[in-house]
Chains A and B, each alone.
Chain A
Amino acid sequence: MDRSQQTSCSAASHSPASLGPTKPFSLETCRLMITMLDRDMSNSMGFTEFKELWQSVNGWKNTFASYDRDRSGTVEGHELQQAFSAMGYNLSPQAMSIIMNRYSVQGRIGFDDFMSCCIKLRALTDQFQRRDTTRTGRAEFHFDEFIQVTMNI
C-alpha cells in the first residue's frame, strides 16, 4: 500500500463505530500513520507495519472513547490532559494549553486530530528519549538534527 492509497485505507477500516458519527481519517493523519511506522523508509506500509498501526489505533481509539463521555466525538482540554496522563505522558498545563491551541477547534478535539496529536507526541517523545541516555529528562539537540526530527512528522 503506498501513499496514493491512503484514502481508501482510511475510509474503509478506521471509522470506529462506537464513537457515534465519525468522519474518516484525514489524509494528513494517514500520512502521519505511515511516517510513524515507516521504519524501512520506504514511504509505504507493509502488512506487519499495518498490524502494528492497527493495534496502536485501537488503543488510542479506546482511550479517546473513554474520555469522550458525552459521546460527542470530541474531548475537551481537561479530558485531553487526562487521556494523555492515562497514556503515560506527564505534560505541564502550559504544554497542554499549547497543544489544545494547535489541535482544537473551538475548544474541543475530534478523534482525527486526537490521533494526529498522539502520533506526533509518540514520535517526538521517542526521538527525545533516544537522546536522553541517562534518563534525566534532558536531551541535547544540535540544530540540524532538531530540524530533521521535527520536520519529519
Chain B
Amino acid sequence: MAYPGYGGPQYGAPMPGMPAQGMPGMPGGHMGGPMPGQMGGQMGGAPHQGGYAAYGGGYQGSYGAPAPAAANDPMWAYFTAIAGQDGEVDAEELQRCLTQSGFTGSYSPFSLETCRVMIAMLDRDSTGKMGFNEFKDLFAALSGWKQNFVMFDRDRSGTVEPQEMGQAVYAMGFRVSPQALNVIIKRYNKGGRIYFDDYVACCVRLRALTDNFKRRDTMQQGAVSFQYDDFILCTMAI
C-alpha cells in the first residue's frame, strides 16, 4: 500500500554497489510535507496512515550482489585474522576489523555502539557474534549505504544535513512520515548534522526494525498487534 502523500514509484531496494533506480533524477525536497527541522512531530499523535510503502532498506536477504572473491579480497584477510579460532567476531573485534580495513576511509571509524548494532542486526543464530557469512552480508549492506551517503555528502564534510538525511533514507526505500523523519534526525544528529557512523547505525536499526515488523505483519496491513513480550523482544534486540 502506498503511503499517502508519498505515492509515486516504489522502487525496490537498491542493490548494494549500484545506484538506486531513479536516484540521479530525484529532485531535492521530494519528501513532501514539512521538511525536517520543524520539530513539531508528536509521538503517537500522527494520524494512522494506511500502511506503508516499500520496506526497502538497502538490501535483500542475501543482496544478490556478487560476493567478493573471498580468497583474494583483503577484507576477508582482516576478518579471519581477527576472528580467531571460533571464526566469529564480537563487537569490539568487528570494530577493529572495519577500522583496519580502512572501510570508513576519510570518515571516522565506527563506534563500538554502531558495531554492536550491526551484529544485532545480523545475529540470526543469536550468538552475539558475527560469523563469516553474516559478515559478508553486512559488508554488502555497508557498501551500499556508504555509496548512498557519499552521494549526499556533497561538500565532503563527512556529514549530511537533515534534509539530505531525509533524502538518503528515502533513497534507500524507507517510507516514513515527516514526524518519523523528525524523530530519526533528532535522534541521530550531532550539532545539527549527521555523521557517517550515526547514519550507518540509523540504517541498521531502521532495516532491522522494519524486518521485525514486516515479519509479524503477515496480512500486510501496515499494522501489528503485539503481545508485550514479543514487542520487547523485537525492539530491544537492536
Contact = CB atoms under 8 A, between A and B. Distances in A.
B224 A98 contact: no
Contacts of B3: 144
Given A101-B128, A130-B44, A144-B52, A152 B176 contact: no
A148 B237 contact: no
Contacts of A146: 209, 213, 224
Contact of A138 (B184, B186, B228): B228
B75 interface: no
Contacts of A149: 43-44, 235
B136 interface: no
Interface of A is mostly: helix
Interface in A69-106: 91-92, 94-95, 97-102, 104-106
Nearest to B224: A141
Contacts of A14: none
Interface in B34-49: 39, 41, 43-44, 46, 48-49
Given A97-B126, A144-B177, A152 B229 contact: no
Nearest to B208: A150
Contact of A124 (B123, B179, B223, B235): B235
B69 interface: no
Contact of A128 (B184, B186, B228, B238): B228
Contacts, number: 141
Interface in B179-220: 179-180, 183-184, 186-187, 202, 205-206, 209-210, 213, 217
B179 to A, nearest CB: 6
Contacts of A99: 236-237
A144 B120 CA distance: 22
Nearest to A26: B113
Contact of A125 (B46, B91, B210, B232): B232
A47 interface: no
A120 to B, nearest CB: 6
B213 A41 contact: no
A120 B209 contact: no
A137 interface: yes
A43 B210 CA distance: 26
A28 B187 contact: no
A144 B49 contact: yes
B182 to A, nearest CB: 9
Ranked 9 nearest A-B pairs via Cβ: A101-B128, A143-B52, A95-B233, A140-B225, A142-B223, A142-B48, A98-B237, A144-B177, A148-B180
Given A91-B232, A144-B177, A145-B46, 8 more contacts: A106-B90, A125-B232, A128-B232, A139-B225, A139-B226, A143-B223, A147-B183, A148-B44
15 contacts: A26-B113, A43-B186, A91-B232, A101-B127, A101-B128, A101-B237, A102-B128, A102-B237, A124-B231, A128-B228, A140-B225, A144-B179, A147-B184, A150-B235, A152-B187
